[in-house]
Amino acid sequence: MTLGQYVRRRNGVALGAPGGLRAMLHRSLGAASFAGFWRYWNPIFGYGLARWVHGPLLRIVARPLAVVLTFVVCGALHDLVTAAVRGSGAFLFTAWFLVVGLGVVAGEAVGMDLSKRPWWQRASANLLYLGGGLAIVLWVKGIVRGSA
């Protein structure tokens, strides 16, 4: 599948077409599960992760571990960019993406399905999931920093 086909499949809008950002936000925030959120979020980056990280990992580890490791790699890439721009790294994204990756696996394990809920409730759940994951990481970092 080409990148263009992948983006159209995820967003329902052609790559670079007007309305692509709006479609991505609407579909990802309104997803029925945490895994669904990530299927729609940033399909260009998702295409690369699926092709060069998740796919190869699936050949050597179980799917849940491949999912979590893909999130860790994604977070590390975000941290590398942040470190290059700032001149130092805090590894915030790696830890945060580890937590949200675990959330995806947990959601799949319990069969999370919010599809019968209104869009605003699904969006609220997805935003709480993202914010909650970040809050956990910041809380842990505060504890670790405080004990040092």
Q: 36-40 contacts: CB < 8 A, separation 24 or more?
A: 37/126, 37/129, 37/130, 38/104, 39/10, 40/10, 40/11
- pLDDT tens by residue, 103-141: 999 999 999 999 999 999 999 999 999 999 999 999 998
Reply yes or no on whether the pLDDT at 57 is more than 60: yes
Residue type, 52: W
Residue with the two structure tokens 């670790």: 144
Distance CA 86, CA 96 (A): 18
- pLDDT tens by residue, 16-41: 899 999 999 999 999 999 999 999 99
The pLDDT value recorded for residue 148 is 53
Mean local confidence (pLDDT), 92-113? 97
Query: Measuring CA to CA, which residue among 61, 60, 39, 65 is closest to residue 50?
Result: 39
The pLDDT value recorded for residue 88 is 76
Q: 10-15 contacts: CB < 8 A, separation 24 or more?
A: 10/39, 10/40, 10/43, 10/46, 11/40, 11/43, 15/44
Cβ contact 94:79 at 8 Å: yes
Distance CA 14, CA 18 (A): 8
Residue with the two structure tokens 């050949």: 59
CA quadruple 118, 120, 124, 126: dihedral sign: positive
